[in-house]
Amino acid sequence: MKIFVKLLTICILFSFIASCGGTPTPTAAPATEAPIVPTSPPVLTAEEQWLKDNQLGPYFTLDQDWAAIEAAAKKEGSVVVYASSSRIEDQIAIWNEVYPDITLEGYDTEGIATKMEEEHNAGNVIGDVWFNGDNMSLYGIMYPQGIILPFIPSEFAAALPVTEAEPFAIQRYGGDVWMYNNEQNTSCPINNWWQVVDGSYQNKIYYEDPLAEADKISLFVTTIKHGDEMAAAYQDYFGKEWTTDAEYDAATTLNAGWLWVKKFAKSPNLVVMPGGDEILEAMGTLGMTDPAGIGNNSYSKVRDTIAGEIAVWACEGMKPVIGTSGVTVLGIAANAPHPNAAKLYVRFTLTPEGSEPWNVLGDWPGRTDLPAPEGAPSFADVGLWPDDGLLMFKIGSQVRDFWTVNALAP
């Protein structure tokens, strides 16, 4: 009987354990969460803090409070602009009427890139605004090194054709074109770029010293960039392939643009001049009787012809184009002492009122929603090859050397 009771007890215990799911699994102790350690915000350098405070560089935004910007600009009291145009002196009078509480110190400045780079490296920034057409220096040095910063006013953002590669606001387009004396000629005596270099045009051909002015080498770089169009113009003029030319060299004249630069450098009628004003005097003086020749100069100089001061006009209809175009852009110096006044100046200079000194035949507004100057064709229709500042930076020295070697060749 006692044995039966023991067996029954064991069976009951076994049944109880089985009914509870078998052998119990040990329960793991609850995991302890790692303590949250507060992190400090990243420490910004003084320059990074300046960028953040002024919403420039990586902190740029189109969310702009212009009432606050103008109020801050008035507290700053002035703005310093380095410009590549003497017409900024005319702009100062307009600015003073609109912003009498902010002094505009505007200078027609030589060597703007060098000046602003030196100021930046010395930690003594004086110039607030870059107003310049030296896009070789801008896109090759100043922008990549963070010395000059783009700024787009929010209200004009839709009308400024900026890209990731070229983010600066274009104030205006201009052109360097082939010109003739319109007192001596009813139309341009040449109609193809190859006539400039083939010797058939016997009069003088004036060009500004390309070793002294970067934009004159830029015209060569642009011509090289458009080698296919130069090849087509060669075929149109000579009736044969450009590679049949006596000056063709497979190793150095890599396209028809290189060939044109080579022949231009060796042209017997070429007269290198120190500046554009000297070219105008040599070929466009009123009443001159000696054969005037042709020259390459700023398209905007026709305004002086309209004013009755000189006698030059653009070679309209010339093949493949009448010239090349450069852009003048606006930027703000990193660590500018007057950042809000600089923003205000950029915005002002993009308005019809602020850009009035440059609203002349031969210049075109950078904003796509503004019309061309009175009497001018649209920029799209005028026939100009845009300069390429970055390409100029990459091959400009090579082209300069190429020009020099051929200009000095016997």
All structural domains of the chain: 47-173+327-369 (3.40.190.10), 174-325+393-408 (3.40.190.10)
- Least confident range from 15-19, 120-124, 162-166, 329-333: namely 15-19
On whether the CB atoms of residues 220 and 404 are closer than 8 A, the answer is no
CB-CB contact of 264 with 197 (8 Å)? yes
Identity of the amino acid at 106: G
Rg of the Cα trace of the chain? 34
Predicted local distance difference test score (pLDDT) of residue 215: 76
CA atoms within 13 A on the CB side of 130: 37
For residue 9, is pLDDT > 50? no
Report the alpha-carbon distance of residue 280 to residue 286 in Å, rounded: 10
Q: Checking DSSP bridges between strand 294-298 and strand 103-108, what pairing results, if any?
A: unpaired
Looking at residue 16, what is its pLDDT? 38
> pLDDT value at position 30?
52
> CB pairs under 8 A, 24+ apart, for 40-49?
47/146, 47/334, 47/335
Residue 384, CA distances (Å) to 174, 223, 320 in order: 9, 11, 9
In this model, does residue 18 exceed pLDDT 70?
no
pLDDT confidence of residue 36: 64
Give the pLDDT confidence of 207-216 residue by residue, as tens digits.
999 988 777 8
Q: What is the pLDDT of residue 13?
A: 37
> In percent, how much of the chain has pLDDT > 90?
79
Q: Which residue has the tokens 């009951």?
A: 12
Determine the pLDDT at residue 43. Answer: 86
**CA triplet 150, 153, 159: central angle to 5 degrees?**
100
37 pLDDT band, cuts 50/70/90, is low
Looking at residues 126-133, what average pLDDT do you find?
97
pLDDT exceeds cutoff 60 at 14: no
Give residue 409's pLDDT band: very low, low, confident or very high (50, 70, 90).
confident
Residue 65 sits at φ, ψ, to 5 deg, of -95, 95
Q: What is the mean pLDDT of the chain?
A: 90
- The sign of the torsion formed by the CA atoms of 262, 399, 193, 360 equals negative
How confident is the model at residue 232, as a pLDDT? 98
CA atoms within 13 A on the CB side of 293: 20
Q: What is the dihedral of CA 279, 294, 305, 286, to 10 degrees?
A: 80
Per-residue pLDDT at 115 exceeds 60? yes
Taking every pair of Cα atoms in the chain, the longest distance, rounded to a whole number of angstroms, is 150
pLDDT digits 0-9 by tens, 250-283: 999 999 999 999 999 999 999 999 999 999 999 9
Name the β-bridge partners of 175.
325
Rounded to the nearest 5°, which phi and psi values hold at 313?
-150, 160
Residue 291 DSSP SS3: coil
- The secondary structure element, H or E, covering residue 174 is strand 169-181
SS3 call for 313: strand
The closest of 175, 134, 214 to 358, measured between CA atoms, is 175
Does 8 score more than 80 pLDDT? no
Rounded Cα distance, 196 and 173, in Å: 25
- Residue 154 is encoded by which pair of tokens? 């929010």
For residue 404, give the H/E element and its range. Answer: helix 389-408
Determine the pLDDT at residue 375.
84
DSSP secondary structure string for all residues of 32-101: PPPPPPP-PPPPPPHHHHHHHHHT-GGG--S---HHHHHHHHHHH-EEEEEES-TTHHHHHHHHHHH-TT
Residue 4 above 80 pLDDT?
A: no
Instruction: Please report, as a single letter, which amino acid is at residue 162.
Output: V
Six-digit token string for 45: 């350098």
Q: Return d(Cα 240, Cα 225) in angstroms, integer.
A: 21
Q: Using the predicted structure, report yes or no on whether residue 150 has a pLDDT greater than 90.
A: yes
Q: Which is higher by pLDDT, 38 or 117?
A: 117
Residue 265 has which token pair? 């450098």
Coil, strand or helix: which one is 149? strand
* pLDDT score of 31 more than 60: no
